[in-house]
Amino acid sequence: MANANTITVNDRATTPVAHTFAPRRLENGLASFVEAAAVPIGEKTLTIRWRKSGKRFYQRVTLSAPALVNETINGVAVPTVPRVALIDATFRFDDTSTEQERKDAVGMFQNALAASQAVVDGTLVKLEGVW
């Protein structure tokens, strides 16, 4: 079982920014990691869930990235979240799959999300359709 350590990932900014997610909550089948923000509603959260059902293993990874803005109400700045980017990926593997098969499938999925993959990137980032 993987030890719940800090997870650091870079974004795709022109000058990439490293985002550090520290363990926040560990429960049976759930681990959540948080990038601390000035106020809790602005925290980015990465969660990992896992379970086995029948002959299948289910792993789910989600990323929640709220956009935090300050709204001035009666002269007082109040932090608000006007929108949240939510990414949800579920991986399902048969209990007869090999570690190499899982490694290959995860690697292909990871590489499909690369900026150089014009079809996937255009659909996800530029909100284009596929024709």
In the chain, where the domains are located: 1-6+16-97, 98-131
* Number of neighbouring beta carbons within 10 Å of residue 25: 12
What DSSP designation does 35 have?
Answer: E
Half-sphere exposure for 68 (CA within 13 Å, toward CB): 14
pLDDT averaged over consecutive 10-residue blocks of the chain (131 residues)? 88 96 94 93 96 96 95 91 97 97 97 95 94 87
pLDDT at 86: 97
pLDDT at 19: 97
Show the tokens assigned to 101. 């098969």
pLDDT at 38: 86
pLDDT at 125: 95
Half-sphere exposure for 1 (CA within 13 Å, toward CB): 11
pLDDT at 1: 67
**Buried b / exposed e along 26-63 (16+ C-beta atoms within 10 A):** eeeeebbbbbeeeeeebbbbbbbebeeeeeebeebeeb
Q: What is the CATH number assigned to the segment(s) 1-6+16-97?
A: 3.30.380.10
